[in-house]
Chains A and B, each alone.
Chain A
């Protein structure tokens, strides 16, 4: 009988295992050195904040694995032998496989700053990082976060929840403006400042200084300002965790190199999730996707392939979401931080600065290609359909009500959005359409 061994029990590895189990009886083993059971990495922050305990972050009860015939092994893999098809564990155990899935995730980046390995300085990715952060932040007066991305803002929220004053060093001129257009980025600036976090934009880390015991004492910025602190979080992105794979015959680049079917250079060996680098023929740069959603979709796709139904990984119309402190964000399609030559964008922002909607569309046919939305929940399916069906901006605006996913009694902003459009386009005034009744009962 085939034996699938999966290294890594994160969302990609676990989704692959579940997908295989749906159609196949093959033996499945998941190996993880991090935890006994699958947990939601995105929820780590909430453990620190006290919203949840570790046990609440486990999406399945512990009996689930045995019931579904999925073996779990806790431990670190030391070596992968693809010729003889086995992995060797740190404790010497040998585990044979007929198919191997690498789902080893990421590791936090460090860029060679002086003092980056001092006690009290850390990245934030794993459960072990969380435990370390718990120790590192006990009794401190001030914390520094380096790097304004999605993990950085999470760490800021975590520290803030414990009333630990935070200074947030962000390289960019506005928060996350390597991804977001200026207006949205500035909205997040304000959100951060409003929470009492000391946001230093366009500021980089120069070095980290130790105290007499060798623990972190302060950081020095590129403005030569010294800021004393008891804790430094380095949240300047992550890179594929492939040190294990590098000593094997499996080809690697920045990550484990795979084709569109998530197959590596070695037959019967696959990679999915953060650790996979998808070769894009004809493009200068391969694709590494480090999101929860892509991890899940890759896991599902590779699971089908492993179970015998070779399936190309297609992520479909892009979407992502995040929460910046109290500000919710969703994005659909593609919104460039710097407007593309071929595109225009419509932007509306509520005067209170807490709600915004950007719709990007093609100049030539006004077809909508991307949506950013802040402080309003929108219906995934509807937004996806608009983009897939290449609906023009005006169609999307007049049908905005179809997409609203805010709870009942929440203030609706569709009319304000339309008014904003009409003010700018007095020659082409739009009228908001009634919410379309759900499909099934009434068709259009």
Chain B
């Protein structure tokens, strides 16, 4: 008796077709990349729009073709197949090549932007549309960054996590804040002759927003907008951040709004499993991230003291702090290492080891928040998917297998531990703080 059967040859064939379609899509992405590299040589100078289409257009089109094929190929659900068997996602040679390339891009971007001249000119037409002026390296960077988040964010929504509304809505939020607040609005402000202000970045991540120099500049800017920006920045840092973190945990920022988290959770998603879960890494993390927080607080304080005393005492010292912070943390750490090392150290290197905003949010989350990841009774099978796919390197399983809730300063609430758990053991929850840490889930008695 064969109650249910499917024509096997047909199935195999359709699988092959889809395989071909996926490869074709990826082939177009490759072709687009090739055009992008060719543009660096100056080929695009006379026809920038054509080259944008040939490079980014082909990459986008190819990506969407492969998304379509993947959707058809597999029913929705967690499919981390072969991640630890592929060179690209398992620290193989392909990963190293990509890591070196991205690291190289950041070094060039920060210190040798002239080398990117042809790319910058290629995106001129986009810049003219937005603010009627020529592009510069930061426009190029913002443009690439946003495109990466949009394409790879679409992959999250359309393919990888299409069974999870939490992931879909969260990813849409990231894409929205990046496109609107970290790309369009700053450049539109520029077009309107206003200071180019990022409403989604606050001190201490955007450290100079509370530096006396920036504050003076904004306050002195004609029109009320500058004053509002100073007000906004201060309110977000000192009022909105603690309040929102109290209700939702640090995730409201780190995995719903922030562009650094946005890139990590979209373009970086194939590399999230590479974070180090060892106890040693956790110790290093705590030492480093709180040092950076102290560093930026001291720097900011010194600058204000210097400003109050008109530079008489601390002038060179505070400037030295500012320069060192800008170079070592602002450029080297958050950019070069933070993104360049994705394929080797995972996606949240900056967020985990360096970001002072994450440190601040983390303290709030640990001690002043209703957020926790609840462990569902005794259902953990210690398989390790949660720990493996935690981008922040939290050994989630350590808690889950003891039936203990997870309350960790570093947790960005991406929700992937809950998604990959094959037994439905983990859930992100905001709730009363009583028994928040408790063993065996006393949430409900």
In the complex, what distance in Å separates the CA atom of A363 from the CA atom of B380?
A: 33
In the complex, what distance in Å separates the CA atom of A327 from the CA atom of B301?
A: 55
Minimum CB–CB distance for A324 against chain B, Å: 10
A51, A162, A407: the one contacting B385 at CB < 8 Å is A51
Interface of B is mostly: loop
In the complex, what distance in Å separates the CA atom of A50 from the CA atom of B80?
A: 7
In the complex, what distance in Å separates the CA atom of A322 from the CA atom of B431?
A: 28
**Range of interface residues on A (Cβ < 8 Å):** 35 or more
- Is the C-beta of A189 less than 8 angstroms from some C-beta in chain B? yes
| Contact between B1 and A201, CB atoms less than 8 A apart | yes
**Which residues of chain B are near A296, meaning CB under 8 Å?**
378
- Of B105-113, B164-172, B331-339, the one contacting chain A is B164-172
Minimum CB–CB distance for B364 against chain A, Å: 20
| Contact between B1 and A59, CB atoms less than 8 A apart | no
| Contact between B444 and A379, CB atoms less than 8 A apart | yes
| Contact between A201 and B2, CB atoms less than 8 A apart | yes
| Contact between A161 and B388, CB atoms less than 8 A apart | no
- With A61-B278, A408-B166, A409-B165 in contact, do A199 and B5 touch (Cβ < 8 Å)? yes
- Of A28-36, A38-46, A230-238, the one contacting chain B is A38-46
A59, A200, A203, A408: the one contacting B428 at CB < 8 Å is A408
Minimum CB–CB distance for A244 against chain B, Å: 25
- With A50-B85, A440-B445 in contact, do A59 and B278 touch (Cβ < 8 Å)? no
- Of B6-14, B33-41, B131-139, B182-190, the one contacting chain A is B6-14
| Contact between B384 and A43, CB atoms less than 8 A apart | yes
**Range of interface residues on B (Cβ < 8 Å):** 35 or more
In the complex, what distance in Å separates the CA atom of A382 from the CA atom of B427?
A: 15
- Is the C-beta of A125 less than 8 angstroms from some C-beta in chain B? no
- With A50-B86, A326-B76, A440-B435 in contact, do A407 and B428 touch (Cβ < 8 Å)? yes
- With A381-B444, A440-B432 in contact, do A50 and B81 touch (Cβ < 8 Å)? yes
In the complex, what distance in Å separates the CA atom of A202 from the CA atom of B427?
A: 39
Enumerate the 6 nearest inter-chain pairs by beta-carbon distance, A residue then B residue, closest first: A380-B377, A326-B77, A377-B424, A43-B383, A440-B434, A409-B165
Q: What residues of chain B have their CB less than 8 Å away from a CB belonging to chain A?
A: 1-6, 8, 11-12, 15, 75-86, 163-166, 168-169, 278-279, 374, 376-379, 381-385, 387-388, 397-398, 401, 415, 418-420, 422-424, 427-428, 431-432, 434-435, 441-445
Q: What residues of chain A have their CB less than 8 Å away from a CB belonging to chain B?
A: 11, 40, 42-43, 46, 49-53, 56-59, 61, 63, 161-163, 165, 173-174, 189-190, 193-196, 198-203, 292-293, 296-297, 319, 321-323, 325-326, 328, 330, 377, 379-382, 384-385, 402, 405-411, 436-441
In the complex, besides A52-B383, A195-B75, 8 extra interface pairs with C-beta distance below 8 angstroms are: A40-B384, A52-B84, A59-B384, A203-B1, A292-B382, A377-B376, A406-B427, A438-B443
